[in-house]
Structure formats: C-alpha cells, structure tokens
Structure 1
C-alpha cells in the first residue's frame, strides 16, 4: 500500500479540530498532552473550543495544524500496518508537518519551530500593512506581469487558474483593479492578517533562520518535496535553507504535485481539518486518487478503504 502524505496549510483550521480524535484514540490524546505541556494548554483549548478569531491567529493555528496532522498520522500508521509512505509534502506551514512525518525532526522540535514561525509571522503582520489576493482564471505570465507592475509578490501557485498575490495593501488594491485587463476572471481579497509569502515577511524569515539553525535536523527517511523549489530536499542544510526561503518565497504547489505524480505516485492521503489539498490536486491531475482525513468518521472510512486495497 504505497501513498504520499499531504499536510494542510494555514486557513484549514476549524474550531473543534481534533476533539473527536482525542476522545476516540488514546494515542491522539497523548500527543495533544505532549503539545500542551510543551507550548501551553491554550493549544487544545483553542483547537476544541475556539473562538475562531483566536484559532485563526498565526501563532495559534500553525501549531494546531501541525499537531492535528501528526495525530491523524499516528492512528493511521497503527491501524494500517501495510501503509508504505513514498514521500511527503505540505502546503506552506504543512511542509513542517511533512518533515516531522518523514523523520527530519521529532514531534517536539517541529512543534517548537512552528510555534516560533507562527509568532514571528504574527509580529511581521503587526509591523506591516499587507494583504493577499486570489486570482482565478488567469494565465501565469499575465499574473507575473501584474505582480511586477503593482510591486507585489506571487505567493501561491495552488492549481491551474488559481494563483495568489501578496504584498502591500496599496499594491494588492492596484492589482485587484487591474486584474480584468490581464484576462483574469475573478480577483478575490483574502481574509488574512498580512502578506504571507511576500517580502513583507522578511523579519519573520530572518528570525526563523536562527531558530532553524539551532534545531536538530536530520535527513528525512522518505523524500520531502519543498514548496520553494518544488523538489525533494534531503541534506539538513538544504532543508534549513528551503524552509527559511519559503517564508518570503512562492509556494509552488502545482509543480510539487506534478513532481510527485511524475515519480509514479497515484495515491495521496491528505491530513488536515478540511479537504483543500484534495480539491487542488483534482484541478492539477484528475487521474490520481486522494483520500482526505479530517475527523474520526473520515479516518475510519480511510482505514477501511486502505486495508481493503
């Protein structure tokens, strides 16, 4: 049973995430207890009870998504002994979860890194006036031209016809106003606290580089495809460099998925509170199968399906 593991990025968080899993599986409760002890009991309280405004804070949702994804994996590995992981990947924050799943660092090290990353990004949001804009139905060269004209950055290449720009409020407003002239069907402002994956995150990038430099990082046991270069990274220094560059760099999700498919992977298992990544993969290549696991019900049906294959 060969599969690629995928992990959610920021924006996937939901109030109640992980609560039913913790109640159903002692291994999940144990992992959440470990996380609470390490960074504070606010973690599961915010995950389970919210409010959404608190859970959406960058310093809160990043460790919440990391713990949630790895908790699902813990149960999946125990319940599907035939599962052979061929590679891992994650969207933005999810790349850290993917590295933990592949053995690049242990659970506690990764948790500390994502808590720091989220805190640094939150500080950068407070110090700058940034915004993000999703562009639907446009061609990449035209969108890159638009970004250059408006002095903003290409943040995410999520799927064909779905690209996100990030930068100053003024630049993003200008890009939204000019989008139709570039043949873009829709320009949708995103409800985010700041300009992620843009030059406005430079202060967070610099601080994260120091944290990554101090962290114990090993070569992963399976290939981990990085967002920044859309290829597997294995040397510890290369992992540090790409995780650092990703903070201000583009998330090249389309190319990352295409690389994984080109390696012969046909089954992907998404772990996170929603099924966003499965939806994006459906737009990138309809020929592959994606199983999305977000709660007890979807986990149990996934276990049944995987054990039957």
Structure 2
C-alpha cells in the first residue's frame, strides 16, 4: 500500500495534545524529553497542561505541533502502517514537519527551526496590527480585486471555494465589510489570529528567518515533499531553504500540494496531528482521497 503523511498547521493545537501517545509509547516519551532539552523549555508540560493562552503563542504552538506530528508518524512506522511511504506534506508550519520526517534536517534541528520561526513570526505580529479573513464560496479570481482595492494579500488557498486574505487590520476589516455589503460571496468570516500571517507584514520575520537558516545543513529529502509556495515537489536543499523562507510571506497553496501529491498514486493518507482540519479540507478538494486523522492513541485502531 502506498501512503503519504500530512502535517497540521498553526491553530490545531489544544491542551492535552499527544498526552495519550506519551503515556502509551516509550519512543514518544523520548521524543518529548529530547524536545524539552533541545528547546530549554517545558514543552511537554505546556502540551499536556497548558494554559491555552501560553500554548497558543506562536513561539510555543509551532514546536508543539511539530513534535506532535513526528510522534504520530513514529508510531505509524512502528506499527507497520506506512507501507510504501511516498510523500510528506504539510500546511504552513506542517511543511517544516514534513521535511524533518523526510530527513531534510534532523529532529533537533527541526525543533530549533520551528521554534525560531514561531518566535520571529510572533515578533512580527507584535510589531504590527494585522488580521485575516476567510472568503467562502469564492474563487481566486473573485477575491483578487478585493486584494487590489483594499491593498491586502492572499494568504491561504486551501480548497475550492475557500480563500483567506491577510494584511493590516483596518484594511482587512474594510475588505470584509465591502464583501458582505456587496453580497459577493456565500460567507466572509474574520479569523481569530494573532496577526497577518503569510502577508507582507511578515517581512521582518522572513528576513531574519533567512539568516537563521543559513547556518543549518539541509539534505535532499528521502521521499517526495511539496512546497506551499508553488504546490510543486521540491528536492534540492538550496531551493528548499529558499522556499521555506519565501513561504513566510507567500500564499499557502495547499490545494495544489494535495492535487500534485495525488498524482503519485497514493492509496492512504494519514493526517498526523490534532484537529482533523486537513481531512475536512480534503473532502472539498477530492472526495476520493482516503484520509485518516490521527491525533491520539485511540485513533490508531
């Protein structure tokens, strides 16, 4: 059986995440111990006990979700459920988890990378007043004029009929209000986020992240990995670095990633991490995709 792994993005975190995995599996306990030591913070305690406001901080939730994804993948492998693993892909932050799983960099380096990415993005959020809004029942072509009119950016192209915009809070509010007033879309929903992710407001984070990655060794991934920047498979270590840097300020082309991975003839997809969000999105991309979401120990049955 051919398989692929999907990794969650920011926002999927919840207090108690991965606790049942930790209690049931020695390798997971070791991964948590290595994470706490590598980052010099009680990540395990924050995952299991919260508080939610601390776990939700970008600098905490990104390594927490990275760790959770790797733990799920580790148990899948131990149980012989991966068959012929052909690809790994992730939404936003999840793309970095996919690269760790694919051997682009080590588990410890991956933790350091996502922790620094989260810290820099939090810094950029604090230095600006950003917001995001989701246009439902919308095409890219229909949303593009709103981006131009209100000077904001497209941030997420997750599935057909769903486009997320991102930018300065006042401009996002104006674009949202205009779309509602004109009754141009099925629904327009402001998102509860700390800032304007995947927009030009993240430029300070992008520039510093580029410098940080310069000192870390990247290798060619041992399975197919897809970049959110273009939706295409990517394998050259130098190009992977460039893509991960660019992703901070670019739209996430998740739908394209999924469609291109499907061309590899994947029979079973596993969503590794909390929430089941990616499995829900998958139904809107292609109902034929066979996706199983695994967050806790009971989900393996």
**Aligning the two structures, in what range does the TM-score lie when normalised by the shorter sequence?**
over 0.9
- Structure 1: unaligned runs, 5 residues or longer: 302-309
Verify the 8 A CA contact 2:139 2:163 in the aligned structure 1.
no
Compared with structure 1, are the counterparts of its residues 82 and 156 closer, same or farther at alpha carbon in structure 2 (3 Å cutoff)? closer
Query: 1: distance between equivalents of 2:249 and 2:183?
Result: 25
Displacement of 1:266 after TM fit? 3.3
Query: 2: distance between equivalents of 1:31 and 1:280?
Result: 29
- Structure 2: unaligned runs, 5 residues or longer: none
Q: TM-score, normalised by structure 1?
A: 0.95
Number of aligned residues: 300
Equivalent residue for 2:269?
268
Equivalent residue for 1:30?
30
Displacement of 1:186 after TM fit? 1.1
Verify the 8 A CA contact 1:138 1:182 in the aligned structure 2.
no
Displacement of 1:291 after TM fit? 0.8
Verify the 8 A CA contact 1:146 1:182 in the aligned structure 2.
no
Post-superposition CA distance 1:137-163 (Å, at most 9, x none) = 112201011111110100000111111
Query: 1: distance between equivalents of 2:19 and 2:212?
Result: 30
Equivalent residue for 1:64?
64
The residue matched to 1:64 in structure 2 has which SS? Answer: helix
Verify the 8 A CA contact 2:2 2:265 in the aligned structure 1.
no
Equivalent residue for 1:307?
none
The residue matched to 1:227 in structure 2 has which SS? Answer: coil
Compared with structure 1, are the counterparts of its residues 74 and 7 closer, same or farther at alpha carbon in structure 2 (3 Å cutoff)? same
The residue matched to 1:105 in structure 2 has which SS? Answer: coil
Q: Does 1:192 align with 2:193?
A: yes
Verify the 8 A CA contact 2:14 2:274 in the aligned structure 1.
yes
Q: CA RMSD in A?
A: 1.1
Query: 1: distance between equivalents of 2:81 and 2:189?
Result: 43
The residue matched to 2:12 in structure 1 has which SS? Answer: coil
Query: 1: distance between equivalents of 2:291 and 2:39?
Result: 32
Verify the 8 A CA contact 1:267 1:289 in the aligned structure 2.
yes
Query: 2: distance between equivalents of 1:87 and 1:236?
Result: 16
Query: 2: distance between equivalents of 1:126 and 1:81?
Result: 42
Post-superposition CA distance 1:23-82 (Å, at most 9, x none) = 100100000000000112421111100111111100000000000000111111011166
Query: 2: distance between equivalents of 1:82 and 1:39?
Result: 29
Q: TM-score, normalised by structure 2?
A: 0.98
